[in-house]
Amino acid sequence: MATVNLDVSRGDHATLRFTISNLSATGLTSCTVYFKAKRDATEPESAALITKDSGTASQITVVTVGSDTVAGVADVFLLPADTNTLPAYTQALYYDLVVVDSANKHYTVGDGLLVVKVDVDTAQ
């Protein structure tokens, strides 16, 4: 798992692409992919400011299922509504990307900082 810091502009659409390696032979088949971002990494899951999952339409799309020899790929779609309610200053949120398989085993496959920058064209 690699720690990757990401930058987005507040109020913009953004697609965050993640490559997921070390998969089983069935890859991401029958798995759900979750993305969560919070102000403090130690906060409970319920405190997440942004939550996305592949089980909900247009939130996360598995682009490549992958396998034990081919990496999987997932796109996380951020909408303006995901960041518009954040304060109008640049801030860093802690995020993680978790894959949950059909046996309900959780695997953190990515994490880092999601830096939400103020878009000077829309700052209020």
Instruction: Give the burial class of 30: count Cβ atoms within 10 A of its Cβ; 0-12 exposed, 13-18 middle, 19 or more buried.
Output: exposed
> Whole-angstrom Cα distance, residue 124 to residue 122?
6
pLDDT band at 119 (very low <50, low <70, confident <90, very high): confident
> Whole-angstrom Cα distance, residue 98 to residue 71?
15
**pLDDT value of residue 1:** 65
pLDDT band at 40 (very low <50, low <70, confident <90, very high): very high
Q: Given the DSSP bridges, would you call strands 91-100 and 32-38 parallel, antiparallel or unpaired? A: antiparallel
**Eight-class DSSP state of 5:** -
| pLDDT tens digits, 90-100 | 999 999 999 99
Contact criterion met (CB below 8 Å) for 105 and 93: no
Q: Given the DSSP bridges, would you call strands 14-20 and 2-3 parallel, antiparallel or unpaired? A: unpaired
**pLDDT value of residue 22:** 92
Task: Name the percent of the chain lying above pLDDT 90.
Answer: 91
For residue 118, give the amino acid letter: V
| pLDDT tens digits, 49-72 | 999 999 999 999 999 999 999 999
pLDDT band at 3 (very low <50, low <70, confident <90, very high): confident
Report yes or no on whether pTM surpasses 0.95: no
CATH architecture observed for domain 2-117: Sandwich (2.60)
